Structures are given as structure tokens and as C-alpha cells.
Structure 1
Amino acid sequence: MQPTRLFDAVAYQLENFPKKDMLATKQNGQWAKLSTHQTQQYINKLSAGLLQLGIGANNFSVETADKIAIIANSCPEWLITDMAVQQLGAILIPIYPTTNETELAFILNEAEVKYVFIGNQLLLNRYQSTIQKISSIKNTFSFDETTVDNWKGIMVSATEASIQKVEEIKAHISSEYIATIIYTSGTTGVPKGVMLSHKNIMSCAMFSKESFPLPDNPEMRALSFLPLNHIFEKCLSYIYLYSGISIYFAEGLDKIGDNIREVQPHIFTCVPRLLEKVFEKILNAGYQLKGAKKKIFFWSVNLAKKYDNRKKHNPLYLLNLKIANRLVFSKWRKALGGHIDYIITGGAACPENLLRIFNAAKIPVYEGYGPTENSPVISVNRAVNNQSLYGTVGPVIDGLQLKLEPDGEICVKGPTVMMGYYKNEQLTQESIIDGWLHTGDIGSLIEGRYLKITDRKKELFKTSNGKYVAPQPLENKLKESYLIEQAIVVGAEQKYVSALIVPSFSALKAWMERHHLVFENNEQAIRHVEVRKHYSSIIKEANKLFNPHEQIKKHILLSNEWSTETGELTPKLSLRRKVVVEKYKEKINKLFP
């Protein structure tokens, strides 16, 4: 069969590589596995049960089709619900488990959601009062045992007749039909509902699979821990399903290390910050070593920093790298399960140093790029023929057209481009012009092939001297330091550029202990004269790579990390610049007397 819709994945897998562990999750300390056949049964029964509740496509119109929301961490139930809803022509509305109540109310109201699937009691406690205020919602179901109805109760009501009816409905669902509306909070404004069809996401999945490439391999295991609400992880999940790769869902961010050692995955996706955290732990462990072991450790790290996959290194360097791999990097690989073939990172710029170090250590990391509006992948560094260039997001995937506007804005055309924004025709017309999606990102092509992201179009600012400054390259360079968690560059209409910096306090604590510096809390740490001097030196080093008008002249260290809970970050962990600038207005004013 030639699959054209997302939910065809299960039938495709049954036909080509039926598995005992299509999906797996940790229950009572053991990995509970669902076979392809069991997964298919769950999906069909859930579809049939929802049909009994009156859920359907209603003439296959985006406006009239029933909407089902899901608020849960990634798990087998998430994907099962996704496909069960798709099979009826209803529309899934995935919502981040960290979404604030105001945005949640907006999404549920605009989409006129009828039913909500929620993960656990903790999420229910947080969101129940908001859900109860939405008049369109008929009921809430949970995946875990909670104070609301359990989702398995829906499946109980399925009958042979309703299951047969689901098959009839499926036959009328075309690839052009909408599969989901994903709301992106963005860095400004109210959430925007991105409408994606089966064709959008399937095209992106298949183009990415063929371009990267990712082989069909039923022996492979993927570890999933990024939210499935994010189109990046959702798209990859369907690539896994169509490639016969088992999906094991991590217990949570705090258990990733344990889960990696247990599952021994061949592939996982992540945001760069996770890789930075992993490397921070590796470095801190290195600092604990003594004598020759410590010297060998840092000799190996410094060697890896010089690694270039496109350069023909001299025999001595390669010999030394081989020694470093045997003595040091082999332990890193073992900590990551010992079977990693691919780590794919996106969502933010990955520090080039990290890419060099991990790849030198035979832990292959590939950086890609794409917005939700493109389902999402536009480009990715390739896993074959050395088609990777560190510092770029790789070549554009096969099947898409790319053009750069005169101001450098990245535009893309192809079957992956969204249907539009839900209930926002004006914004749709502003974003898609003659079939070209205008991403709002600024970039350039290196060697005419490798896409490099330089900034967001709306984030460029001009100093009072009339010079333009792109804040992201500066911020990314600062965050290459393992001692910097977050940074924002400011200076619009000012004489010079400044920065607010949030230290990585776990790394800073270890650094201060190594230097015998005493502190009781974060506030004391950032006030310590030696700490201030050290951060000044980090900034001075970063400044060397930028023009004088771009260099940071003043900075302030902050004692609290930014988060989704405190509002400075979106659920995708993107920086909300306007929120940060407003929140720290007084501190910023002091930088520009």
C-alpha cells in the first residue's frame, strides 16, 4: 500500500514490519510494550467509541468538524488518540502541558473544543477550573486514574457496527484534509492556530526520511521525550512509525539519563539546551578527576573542539582522536546507551563547539530547521556523504523550493506549507504569498547549499548611531559558555549594546566550589567579585567575533532563570523578548544612563 494519510502508519507497519514493541512506556518500573496489532485495536476502538459520542467530520469542513483537545506529556496514549481522532475526520488540538491558563482558555474557545483528553491528576488540578468555564466542552477524559472519566471507558462502548462505520469514514478522508490545528504562542501576541493537512505532514515526513536519510529498520529504537504537541517531535514520530522504528517514551526530563541507559536508543530528537546540559554534566565530572586522568580528559575535549568533518586532518590528529575515543569518549557513548546512530536537534541554534565535540566523540548530532507553518522541516544536515556543515542547518530537504528575499528572509514553497491560520485569513495572506511561506527568519546560503539562520526579521534593532544589530548571533555565542543559561541582547535606539545574562547556576556552583568561593544563594553568587570578573571575561572573548557596534559594552547578571511558568519563555522555550524587556525595564534603564 502507498500511504497518504498519517493514520495509515499502523496498517503500513502491520503489512511491512509488524512489531512487538511499536510503542513502549514505563509502568511500575518495567517497560510496557504495545505491538502493532494491539495499537491498531486501541486506535479503532477509541475511534468507534468517539463515534458513539457523536464525534465526526461534519461534512469534512475545517469550520464544522469536531475538535478534540489533548493536554498530556508524550506517551503511547497521545499517539493513539491522535490517530483515533484523525480516522473520524475530527481535528486534534494539541496543547502544551505548560500552557498558561489565559492561552488555554483562548485556544479552547476559538477551536470550540468538545472533549478534552488530559494526562494525569497534576495537569487536571492545574487546568480543570479553566476547562469547566468553556461552554463547548462536554467532558474531560484522563489517561491515568483521576477524578474524571478514564479514556478506556470510551473504548468499552465500541461495537462491531461502530468499528465498521469507522472503516467507511476512513475511506472518505483524503490526504488534502486537515489533520490537526497546532497553536503556536509565538514570542508576541495571541496564539495562532496553524492548520496542517495529512498531505502537509506526510510530505514533510517522507521528504525528510528520504533526504536525511533514515532507513527502514525494525531493529531500531527511538527514545521520545520532546512534547508531541511540538510538530518537530510529531513529524519525527510518524517517520519512526513508517520506518518500523520502535518508539519508547521517556518518563520525564529528570529520568532521561536512566531511560537512555535502559532503552539503548539508536535515535532521539532534542533541543540544543539538552545537549548543553549533558555536556555540562560531562565537564563537571571531568573537573572531579585528579592527576593524569584529568589531563587526559581535557586534552581529549580540546582535541574534539578542533574536529571538522569536512577537513582532511593530518595523521597525528587522527591518531590522537582515536586515543581520545578509546580512553574518554567511549565512556560518554556508554552513558548514552552505546548505540546512538543519530541525534537530531532543532528549535534553536546549536552551539558549533558542541557539534564538533559530540561528532568527534562518535556521537552523531545533526542540526535541522523549520517552523510549525512548514510541518516543520525546511532543512537538515545530512547523515550521508559528509553533507553536514557545522554552524548551518544543512541543505534544504528534497521536494521543497527555497528562496531568500532581498532582506535575507527565508521563504519556502512546497506541499509542506500549511493550509493557513485558523480563523485568521488576513494573517494567512500576509504569511503565504503566491504559494511562498514567508518564515520571518533571516538567513543566507553557504557554498550555495547550506542554510544558515542569522536572526528573526522582527528582532533586528538599530542603535542610535543608525547601525543594525542582530541579537541572536550574539546571544548564541554567549550561550556557548557552559556557565550561561540564558541571555538577551538589548540596545534599540541606544548608543551601544548591552545584555541581561542568566547564569547556569548548577555549573556556576561547581565553578565556585572549584575556586573555593563561598556563597549561600544565587543572589550572593552573582554579586561575588570573582564571578563578575569571570563573566566579564566570557563576554570580552565573545565580543572579539563581532563588529565594534555589535559588541556588548555593559551587562547585568540575573539571579532567577526564565521559564514558561514565569512567562519569559514560550512553551517551546523560545524567548519572549517583549515580556523580558518589560519585566526588567528598570534594570535595562540602568544599563543606558
Structure 2
Amino acid sequence: MNVDAITSGAELAEVTVPQLFNARLADRPDAVAYQQKRHGEWMAVTWKDYAQRVANLASALQRAGLGRGDRVAIMGDASQEWLIADMAIMCAGGVMVGVYFTSSPEEVAYCLKDSGATFAFAGSEEQLHVILGSGQSSGLKTIIVLDPDWAGDAVPDNVVALDGFCGTIAADAGRFLRKQGTMAKSSDVVSIGYTSGTTGNPKGAMLTHLSILAGAHCVTTFGPGMRADAHRVVVHLPMSHTVARAQATTLPLILNIMPYFGESTADFAQTIKEVRPTYFMAPPRFYQRFAAQILSRAHAGTTKQKQDYQFAMKIARKALDNRRAGSAPDPFVSELFEVCQEQIFLPLLAEVGFDQLKVAFTSSAAMPSELMSLWQLWGLHLKECYGQTELVGANLVQMAEWPEAGNVGVPLHDPAWETAVLEDGEMIVRGPGLFVGYWNKLEETKSALRDGWLYTGDIVEIGPTGLFKLIDRKKEIINTSNGKSVSPTQIENEIRHSPYISEAAVIGEGRKYLTALIEVDATATMDWAKSRELPITRYSDLAESEIVVRLIEAEVAKANSRLARAEQIKAFRILPEELSPENGVMTPTRKKRRKQLLERYRPLIDTLYDESEENLIKAEMGAQP
């Protein structure tokens, strides 16, 4: 099977994961498939060893009673063991159920019960305790602990270490994969990915062999460098997330790309510095954090270094203006920029491990224009794309060399994919990588999939040059008491342009005016406070500092100047804590759970509104205010 000859996702219609895995094993048995860091040392694993571990585990699952179509949950941090478990489940004919490793016992209980999982993998002792505390563990045939250092003391009878579960099995990997390849069909469901919904319980998106392979193939269309070059990628997002799973599991089957797993995803910044990836995909928040680190370094240099940096930025602005204008670049400016890049910008990029980054994309949230331009001034070809779990890959991508923020590009250069916009502005998509429905949710499936089209729920506009711009989620519209309908997402994007603001939540449904809850960027704002010798040592101090409040007030005023009167923020509060999945107000991919956010910070929100008029009317009508 010549994977390199595949030019369209449609050509994967009759292909399965075990077939491609076996092709890799046959073509490059002694080549390195991935690398894992353990106890401070990097370990390279060949395709031969990788396939052997997968075949052994898959055989053990089948021996333990796993049937075709049975569901198997994985809850754990990104690691080679997660990858092996995922591959083994799919190659054995099972259905992998991804569970975020930070999930609560209640969330785990929902996923296990809803999916009907019969086996589960726990990444570590911590995740094992969560599964055991979910109330669903006794219904599982076996819980396999992936951590090779797990001691295994005082556990229920159905809990076993990975090595103990596989025992002495020594499968013939090639024969096993060939056999499973003949038994599998591209239309077989191989995984259920639970979307972290902003409201209600998560929905399990069912993905087939075709879904995950055609979805991964979308990445090969992002530019000629994706297919022509060898790449290094750090798997730093949870592997139950579509992007991380593709980077680790499916992209290496169709591209010359090597995944790297650090000690843990909590150490992702150090891992990136060590690996120096050539391909990176992450939400804007990651780029904002790294940019803040670089700026802190640039501003902390000697007087001469700061002068050199400012001069280099002036040259970079001229060079970027030339590139974006599409005119012939000024040779003198181009040569100066190359010197600046080599002597100033690349050493700064090396501070975060980005000095060899060739392909950089962002998705899942709007990229602030200033942040995107900053990376481009430093010489990084940062671009945006659009995707979601239900279409696995991406259907929109910025193809221009130096694009501006504010759009998500144009439809994929693959005739197998189609993108259309309905009269109400909703974008719909169809193509080979779509999911096939929500597990146990027939009505939601009927709503999302109609006549082969995925109804994305996202409102878009197409500009005069064919570029798509995301406007809002179809159902995320605020209707104020004044009768105005506004998009909270657009306003939040404007507020997040500030380097001192990492997140904003606009409030105003049924209210007279709009307000906002602000999460400040801890790194940038702390550096700002330290430069003024303010007595601030932790995040909560920022929310209580009057000087910091004045700083954010000025940043919100800048955003208001770019907004229509009905969209302007009349008041705000700095949140006393950083938003996170752990406090229930964010999904693991940093999408806001608006309902939970409103409930958690209700007392703080109430301080933003003067309800004296409402209370006066209630009192007049005999109701308690």
C-alpha cells in the first residue's frame, strides 16, 4: 500500500487502521516510530517494537473476552502506553472510549455508563482511584493500569498492571495485523469521542476507520511541507482530544512524522524546548503563554539588547507589511529581516523551543490579531484552521503565506470535502472524515447529520476574497433587555486582544447592558506588576489590586473603542481564580461552559448590575426584591 500516493481523503474509503499499521511495519520495521521520555531519559521505539506491543495487548484483550464492537475506555495522561492501548483496541476490533484524564468521578461514571464500556485503562494510580470512585468499576471485566511504575497494592480483583495483563503472550505482529485488517471494514466504529459540551452532558461522537484516517489526511493538505518534510511533534494535549490523538495515532500512519511524549503533559513547555518541534497545533492560549515568556525575556535584556530588539521589530514590521501587501519584497528590507531573524528572533524563539518550527497552526478559539501578527513578526508562519470533533480533521484552513487573523481561511483543497453556508449563516460540511452519529443519542444525531451534511452550529461570513470568518455559535446570542441581539464571542475576541487578558466572559442576557468577567494573563500581568514593585505574589492578588484593575480598565476601554455602542462593556470584574476544567467552568480544550460559569460566579456578577429600578418595581407590585 503506497500511502505517499494518496492525494484525497476519498481514497481511504476502503482502508483500515490495521492495514496501514501493517504497511508501516513492513516498510520501516527498524525506523523509529515515536519517542518517550522516562526518568529523565528519551527512549526511541521502532515500528517493529511498537507493533509487537500492540499485537500482544490486542491479543490479551481478545483472550480476556473483548468482542468486536465492545467498548474500552482509556483515562490517562498522554504517553506511549495510551497510544499502544488505543491502537490495540482498534486493531482487536474494539471501540476506544476516550476519557479526559482530569475528569471527575461523576464525569467518568457518565462516560462508562453511557458507552457501556466492558474494559478500562487507567493511566496512573490517580486515574485508577477516580475510576474506582465512579461507582461503575465493578461492572468492568478488567481495569488495566498503564503506568509501568505502578505498585499495585490493595486493589480489587479486576484491577491488573499492563505487563501482568499481557502475561507471556508473544504474538506474530505482522500476521495478527494482516488478519485483523481482513476482518475490519472502513465503516466499523473504532472510537467514541466525548465532546465536552458547554451545556448539558457530553455527547459521544462515533468515529470509524474512515473518519479518523480521512480526518488526519486533511492535515496533509495544509501545505506542501506537511507531506514533503519529516516532522517532529510534541503530544501535549489530552489524547482523548481529536488533535492529540491524530498526532500520536493516525498521522504517523500517513505522514513522515514522529510523536514525542514527555514525562507528563504538565511538563509540555520543557518537552517542547527539548524536542524543538517542526509541527505544532494548539489553541491560541498556548501561543499567548509562549509569547508572554518571549516578551518577558526580550524586555529583561541589557540596554543594548533591548535597543537591538526594537530595531529588529521595526524591520520586521516593514517586512511583514510587504509580505501581506502581496507586492515584490524590498530586497534591502528582506536581507535586513533575515539578519534580524538569525541574530535576534531565532534565539528568542529558542527560549520556548520554537526555533525550528516550520508548520504552526491554531484552532478551537479565535486568535487575537495582535498575537498572530507578533508571531509573524518574529518569523513564524502561524496560521488558523477550523475543525471540530464531529468532522475529525479541518475543512477550513488559511493557505496564504502570511495571513491576517480574523478569518479561518478557505475550504480544503480536496474535492472529497464540501463546505456550504445556509441562509441563516450556518456552515455545513460533508466529506469522508465525518463522524457517523452520537452514541445513544438519536435525536441529536438527526439534528447534526442531515442528508450527509454536518450542521456545524457555527455562523460564518464569506468575505469578498473567499475567506471564511467565524461570527458565533448559532445558539450563543445574548438578547439584552433593550432588545439588542449581540454576539458574545465577537466581543470576547476584542477583549482578548489585550496581552494582559487571557479570557473574558460577556454577561448580559435579559440585562440592560453588557458586562464581563475577566481572567487576567498571570504571566504577563505578574511581570507588569513586578516591574512596578507591587506586592503581588499570586493570581488572587491580581484581582484585588486596584492598580491592576486600572490596567484592565484601560484594556477594556481599548476594546470598547472598536465595538458598536450596544456591544460595549459597561463594567467588569477580575475573576479571583484562573478558569480551568477542575473548577467546572471550562472544557479541557478551554471552551467556556457558560451555564456553569454563570452559576459559579453569580455573586460576583450581581455586583456588576444596579438593580435598584427593578427592585423598586417589585416592591411596588408587592413582590420581594
Gaps of at least 5 residues in structure 1 are 58-64
Q: 1:333 aligns with which of 323, 340, 349?
A: 349
> Per-residue deviation at 1:549?
0.8
SS in 2 for 1:32: strand
Q: 1:5-34, CA deviations, whole angstroms, 9 ceiling, x for partnerless residues?
A: 223332232344455321110122211111
Q: 2:411 aligns with which of 396, 400, 407?
A: 396
Q: Is the 8 A contact 1:286 1:298 kept in 2?
A: no
Q: 2:298 aligned with 1:281, yes or no?
A: no
Determine the C-alpha separation between the residues in 1 that align with 2:317 and 2:603. 39
Determine the C-alpha separation between the residues in 2 that align with 1:12 and 1:47. 18
Q: 1:137 aligns with which of 132, 135, 140?
A: 140
Determine the C-alpha separation between the residues in 2 that align with 1:331 and 1:281. 13
TM-score of the pair, normalised by structure 1: 0.92
Counterpart residue type for residue 337 of structure 2: L
Structure 2 counterpart of 1:262: 274
Q: 1:429-450, CA deviations, whole angstroms, 9 ceiling, x for partnerless residues?
A: 1111222111111111233532
> Per-residue deviation at 1:213?
4.0
Structure 1 counterpart of 2:213: 202
Structure 2 counterpart of 1:548: 565
Determine the C-alpha separation between the residues in 1 that align with 2:420 and 2:174. 47
Structure 1 counterpart of 2:551: 534
> Per-residue deviation at 1:299?
4.6
Q: 2:97 aligns with which of 79, 93, 98?
A: 93
1:301/1:101 Cα in 2 relative to 1: closer, same or farther (>3 Å)? farther
Q: Is the 8 A contact 2:358 2:381 kept in 1?
A: yes
Q: Is the 8 A contact 2:189 2:209 kept in 1?
A: yes
Determine the C-alpha separation between the residues in 1 that align with 2:124 and 2:229. 31
Determine the C-alpha separation between the residues in 2 that align with 1:422 and 1:522. 40
Q: Is the 8 A contact 2:207 2:435 kept in 1?
A: yes
Gaps of at least 5 residues in structure 2 are 3-11, 153-158, 611-625
1:66/1:361 Cα in 2 relative to 1: closer, same or farther (>3 Å)? same
Q: 2:382 aligned with 1:365, yes or no?
A: yes
TM-score of the pair, normalised by structure 2: 0.87
Determine the C-alpha separation between the residues in 2 that align with 1:461 and 1:373. 26
Matched pairs, number: 583
1:162/1:8 Cα in 2 relative to 1: closer, same or farther (>3 Å)? closer
Structure 2 counterpart of 1:501: 518
> Per-residue deviation at 1:421?
0.5
Structure 2 counterpart of 1:293: 305
Q: Is the 8 A contact 1:539 1:552 kept in 2?
A: yes
1:7/1:218 Cα in 2 relative to 1: closer, same or farther (>3 Å)? farther
Structure 1 counterpart of 2:83: 79
Determine the C-alpha separation between the residues in 1 that align with 2:110 and 2:317. 46
Determine the C-alpha separation between the residues in 1 that align with 2:286 and 2:338. 26
> Per-residue deviation at 1:162?
11
Q: Which runs of 4+ in 1 moved over 6 A?
A: none
- Aligned identity (percent) is 27
Q: 2:194 aligned with 1:183, yes or no?
A: yes
Determine the C-alpha separation between the residues in 2 that align with 1:338 and 1:556. 38
1:15/1:34 Cα in 2 relative to 1: closer, same or farther (>3 Å)? same
Q: 2:463 aligned with 1:449, yes or no?
A: no
Q: 1:194-225, CA deviations, whole angstroms, 9 ceiling, x for partnerless residues?
A: 00111112112223313534544674322221
Q: 2:72 aligns with which of 68, 73, 93?
A: 68
1:521/1:334 Cα in 2 relative to 1: closer, same or farther (>3 Å)? closer
| Counterparts of residues 99-248 of structure 1 (less than 5 Å) | 99-130=103-134, 133-144=136-147, 145-146=149-150, 147=152, 148-158=159-169, 167-216=178-227, 219-237=230-248, 238-248=250-260
Q: Is the 8 A contact 1:72 1:119 kept in 2?
A: yes
1:373/1:170 Cα in 2 relative to 1: closer, same or farther (>3 Å)? same
SS in 1 for 2:96: strand
1:221/1:466 Cα in 2 relative to 1: closer, same or farther (>3 Å)? same
| Counterparts of residues 420-439 of structure 1 (less than 5 Å) | 420-439=437-456
Determine the C-alpha separation between the residues in 2 that align with 1:122 and 1:449. 49
1:162/1:339 Cα in 2 relative to 1: closer, same or farther (>3 Å)? closer
Determine the C-alpha separation between the residues in 1 that align with 2:557 and 2:390. 38
Counterpart residue type for residue 599 of structure 2: E
Larger deviation, residues 330-339 vs 362-371:
330-339
SS in 2 for 1:420: coil
